[in-house]
Structure 1
Amino acid sequence: MSGKTVNSAILLLVLGNAMALVSDVFIKLLEPGAPILQFAFLRCLITLAFLLPLARKIDRNNLFSGFRVHAIRAHIHLVGLLCMVVALSNLPLATANAVFYVAPIMVMVLSVLFFRESLTPLSVFAVVSGFFGIIVILRPMDFNWAAIAALGSALALAINAVMVRKLPKDQSTVHKLFLNYLLMVPASGLLAAWEWQKGASWQPEVLYIAAGSAVFILVYNITVLLAYRQVDANQVTSAEYTGLIWAVAIGWIWFNEVPDWWFLVGSMMVVVPLVLIGLNQRRKAPARGFNPVPKQDEPRNRAGSLSAGTTL
């Protein structure tokens, strides 16, 4: 599976999104009351360790180029990660992931607000449908802090995706990911120390869960890199939404979380307009054969082909 053909790229995205869901499963295995700040700190350190073998792709002479933007994105990433842990710990797996998929809709809105981009009628429909879809999924009567955390995680994804435009264009994906996690370490370490001082005991299983989560989310990043490097995004990006299918299947089989009609209807309201946008872009794109020149080394994420380093 090289990702050099549309079919192989789609298969990579399907498998990659399954790996991302396995990462979510590890997080969901955290016990109630587990030290989530310690988890975030450990996952940052472990991810950095896994990235070290790829250090040759890091421009050491300009390691901190774009430092200000990287620092802001790193701390937003940390907030989003903590929100994701809260959401996955308290919401059904499929419900949390359905809310995460509102991120590309938020990107559309943020792009209009900060970059004066115009929305097509289909994009406007996606924004409105997605908004009401989230209301249907969460239902006002069930709205709680976990639901707010899920929305916070989606917002963090969206903000980080929009801010990618401000990063240096010549930085590799490994460089961006490494710097992102490196700049998360001080804040996450201080939060973990504060949590420990407040009486949170060290739990060895948190280390294993953080390692498992980090491994599978990095495997996801590798698959999307391969998928998008030489195939047009608009040809395959709709395959990313198979992540919601994986979330339903794994939640049903592993956690006995049976989706109801509210979830199914709301999910369709969120995902279908986004898929239609992708299909519309694919229809408008000029036909072309295999392009031997690799695309910019940018991964996407689970929230619908967002940009590098935004996967939580």
Structure 2
Amino acid sequence: MSGRTVASAIFVLVLGSFFATLCDVFIKLAGPDVAVFQLTFLRAAFMFLILFPIVYIRHLYRPQSVVFVGLKLHFLRGNMWVLAGVLLTLSLSELSLATANSVFYTAPIFIMLFGAFFYKERLSFEVVVSAVLGFIGILVILRPTEISSGMISAVLFAIVLATNSLLIKKLPQNQGMLCGLCITQFFALPMAAGLAIWEGEAFQVDLLLYSALSSVCSILYAVSCLIGYRYIASSKVTSAEYSGLIFAFLIGWLIFGEVPDLGLFIGALFVILPLLYLGHQDVRRLRKEESLSNTRANLGAG
């Protein structure tokens, strides 16, 4: 699929959401007693080893300066990726797949709030209401009668994911997404390796398969985003990514025997529906701007 039409872009993003869910599945299959830092290091290593040959071939005849820009930012994002990877593994080892993913989908709310704080972006009434409803959704989903490490990890993962996503705005525009991802994973390796050594767990051979498969799925998700958002305005298609929650419900039930209760569905609706509404508002705004632009063009032509 080319991603040049809204329909094809939505299809690509839905497919990407499926791969993102599969990534979580392979991490969860590693088991509740997994060596967290070892798994995080292996995932970073596999992602770098897969991406490096692709990036090297693509940049073989391009200016080398493109590769070596924004290294400080990539270093920061690489180490934040390690933190996110650890939090992701901890949350999936304790929470059900659907519960964890429902909390993960609060990341866009944090992106909007952090964008207003750090980039002085306009914080509308609708955004504030969406944030409040999203946090109510978290409480309904988790029903924290007692705070667990899995709950804390899931919320912190959404926060770190949102922060890392905001840093994308500062990445060099002339540097491809796969190139940036490869450099980020390279900078993630030292910290991930150090944590794995400090963890002191015996090498777990079965983690090679889980980490390799989850890494492939992560890369496929990144590629789907690259294709899905390249030609079409993000506000028109971003809602397609919420299909990942459906995949989490279904796969969690089929593979792990997890049966979502009514509270989980209600909480997920509190999180997702306001975000879908905001996306719909953006689409309406874009259509009005396009209509106004066409009217002005027609008047100018007349």
When the two structures are superposed, what TM-score results if normalisation uses the length of structure 1?
A: 0.88
What is the CA–CA distance in structure 2 between the aligned matches of 1:177 and 1:62, rounded to whole Å? 14
- Which is further off, 30-39 or 265-274? 30-39
- Kept in 2, the 8 Å contact 1:27–1:209? The answer is yes
Q: What residue in structure 1 maps to residue 84 of structure 2?
A: 80
Number of positions where the alignment pairs a residue of Structure 1 with one of Structure 2? 286
Percentage of matched positions with identical amino acids: 38
Report the CA distance between 1:188 and its aligned residue. Answer: 0.5
Q: What residue in structure 1 maps to residue 296 of structure 2?
A: none
Q: What residue in structure 2 maps to residue 13 of structure 1?
A: 13
Which structure is larger by alpha-carbon Rg, 1 or 2? 2
Q: What residue in structure 2 maps to residue 303 of structure 1?
A: none
What is the CA–CA distance in structure 2 between the aligned matches of 1:237 and 1:167, rounded to whole Å? 21
Question: Can you give the 5+ residue segments of structure 1 that lack an aligned partner in the other structure?
Answer: 289-312
What is the CA–CA distance in structure 1 between the aligned matches of 2:274 and 2:188, rounded to whole Å? 34
Q: What residue in structure 2 maps to residue 129 of structure 1?
A: 133
Equivalent position amino acid for 1:260 in 2: D
Q: What residue in structure 1 maps to residue 187 of structure 2?
A: 183
Q: What residue in structure 1 maps to residue 294 of structure 2?
A: none
2:119 to 115, 119, 127: 115
- Identify, as 1 or 2, the structure richer in helix: 2
Q: What residue in structure 2 maps to residue 214 of structure 1?
A: 215
Report the CA distance between 1:31 and its aligned residue. Answer: 2.5
Q: What residue in structure 2 maps to residue 269 of structure 1?
A: 270
Note the alpha carbon deviations across 1:69-95, whole angstroms, 9 max, x for none: 221111111101100000011100000
Q: What residue in structure 1 maps to residue 32 of structure 2?
A: 32
- Kept in 1, the 8 Å contact 2:66–2:175? The answer is no
What is the CA–CA distance in structure 2 between the aligned matches of 1:229 and 1:67, rounded to whole Å? 24
Q: Secondary structure at the match of 1:201?
A: coil
Note the alpha carbon deviations across 1:114-166, whole angstroms, 9 max, x for none: 12222122111111100111111111215311010001111111111112222
Equivalent position amino acid for 1:167 in 2: L
Question: Can you give the 5+ residue segments of structure 2 that lack an aligned partner in the other structure?
Answer: 291-302
For residues 291-310 of structure 1, what are the structure 2 equivalents within 5 Å?
A: none
Q: Secondary structure at the match of 1:159?
A: helix
Equivalent position amino acid for 1:211 in 2: A
After superposition, the CA RMSD in angstroms is 1.6
Q: What residue in structure 2 maps to residue 49 of structure 1?
A: 49
What is the CA–CA distance in structure 2 between the aligned matches of 1:109 and 1:233, rounded to whole Å? 18
Q: What residue in structure 2 maps to residue 61 of structure 1?
A: 65
1:250 aligns with 2:254: no
